């Protein structure tokens, strides 16, 4: 999934590739929703009208949930907000026409280096020279993605967090090749859509996931050693640390395949870092296709 935003003319154009990854799909229509709700004109682009209809319906349902809370005492204002937001959203299946008129492209497809590189390489041929490219990757090196294009100085990271309408943070990642002008444009865009940006270097996991993923992996190791049950670990972190979810609940929510892909990638970069050591149990569950909530079973079973 990728979107593009015209920073100077207050427009946002978008491209969404639906690849049966429900979490990625959910993330990006929420991102379009946030852009449209903040006054940007959004053009949602995909390969078929069927997928575009699903995306639009998802945005409408999400907006209804948001306005139910935001305008609890003012239903008329809520209805007006939904109508105004949806007026900022149109759809198209012509990706080339969209990318030809963009200032910023934000990619949010599957967390796979090769697939992302192929996408950026293709878009690089059609986007204007001044266009900034950004990735929403949560774990891959921005520098390696930038190397697939001819615009390394106009390439950075914009990592949003789920659920996008509620989470205020955006990690803005600057590589050694990212120009200061590009970085400032990414910061300005983050603020324009109502987010709070933080500056990150291009290191594994940036800030949040660099702390979060090793925490989850250490919980798995704690369980593997037999030091505590997964249920007790989850309860301990929720009641003792005040976390909304325990590490095993969070792993199942994120997807065990996604977590394995992230930790394997970091381990290949820093094989001697004990924080990035692979987990035999995690590997076993992924091999058995027990990937968490999306498959009905991971560390826990779901009906």
Q: What is the pLDDT of residue 32?
A: 55
Q: What is the CATH number of domain 209-295?
A: 1.10.1040.10
Q: Which fold has domain 2-201?
A: Rossmann fold (3.40.50)
Omega before residue 163 within 30° of 0, cis: yes
Binding-site entries? 62, 69, 138
Q: What is the pLDDT of residue 39?
A: 61
pTM score, whole prediction: 0.79
Q: What is the pLDDT of residue 4?
A: 37
CB 108 within 8 A of CB 136: yes
User: Which amino acids are annotated catalytic?
Assistant: 138, 159, 171, 209
Paired tokens of 179: 């120009």
Q: What is the pLDDT of residue 93?
A: 79
Binding-site entries for CoA? 62, 69, 138
Paired tokens of 89: 């959203």
Q: Phi/psi at 224 (nearest 5 deg)?
A: -60, -35
Q: What is the pLDDT of residue 14?
A: 41
Domain spans of the chain?
2-201, 209-295
**Segment-wise mean pLDDT, segments of 10 residues, the chain, 303 residues:** 36 37 38 56 75 83 85 88 84 77 79 88 91 91 98 96 85 98 94 93 95 97 98 99 97 94 93 96 98 97 92
Q: What is the pLDDT of residue 13?
A: 39
Q: What is the pLDDT of residue 122?
A: 87
Paired tokens of 194: 């109502």
């Amino acid at each position: 999934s990728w979107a593009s935003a015209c920073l100077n003319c207050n427009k946002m154009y978008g491209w969404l590739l639906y690849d049966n990854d429900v979490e990625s799909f959910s993330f990006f229509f929420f991102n379009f929703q946030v852009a449209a709700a903040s006054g940007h004109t959004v053009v949602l682009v995909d390969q078929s009208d069927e997928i575009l209809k699903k995306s639009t319906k998802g945005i409408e349902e999400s907006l209804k949930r948001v306005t139910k809370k935001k305008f609890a005492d003012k239903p008329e204002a809520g209805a007006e907000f939904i109508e105004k937001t949806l007026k900022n959203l149109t759809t198209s299946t012509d990706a080339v026409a969209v990318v030809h008129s963009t200032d910023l492209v934000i990619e949010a497809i599957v967390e796979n280096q090769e697939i992302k590189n192929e996408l950026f390489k293709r878009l690089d041929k059609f986007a204007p020279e001044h266009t900034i490219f950004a990735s929403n990757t949560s774990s891959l090196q921005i520098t390696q993605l930038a190397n697939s294009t001819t615009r390394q100085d106009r390439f950075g990271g914009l990592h949003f967090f789920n659920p996008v309408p509620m989470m205020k943070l955006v990690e803005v990642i600057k590589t050694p090749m990212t120009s200061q002008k590009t970085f400032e444009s990414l910061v300005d865009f983050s603020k324009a859509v109502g987010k709070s940006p933080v500056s990150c270097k291009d290191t594994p996991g940036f800030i949040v996931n660099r702390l979060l993923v090793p925490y989850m992996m250490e919980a798995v190791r704690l369980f593997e050693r037999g030091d505590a049950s997964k249920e007790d670990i989850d309860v301990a972190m929720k009641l003792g640390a005040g976390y909304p979810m325990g590490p095993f609940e969070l792993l199942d929510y994120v997807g065990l395949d996604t977590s394995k892909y992230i930790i394997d990638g970091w381990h290949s970069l820093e094989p001697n870092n004990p924080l990035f050591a692979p987990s035999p149990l995690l590997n076993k569950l992924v091999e058995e296709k027990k990937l968490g909530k999306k498959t009905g079973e991971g560390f826990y079973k779901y009906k």
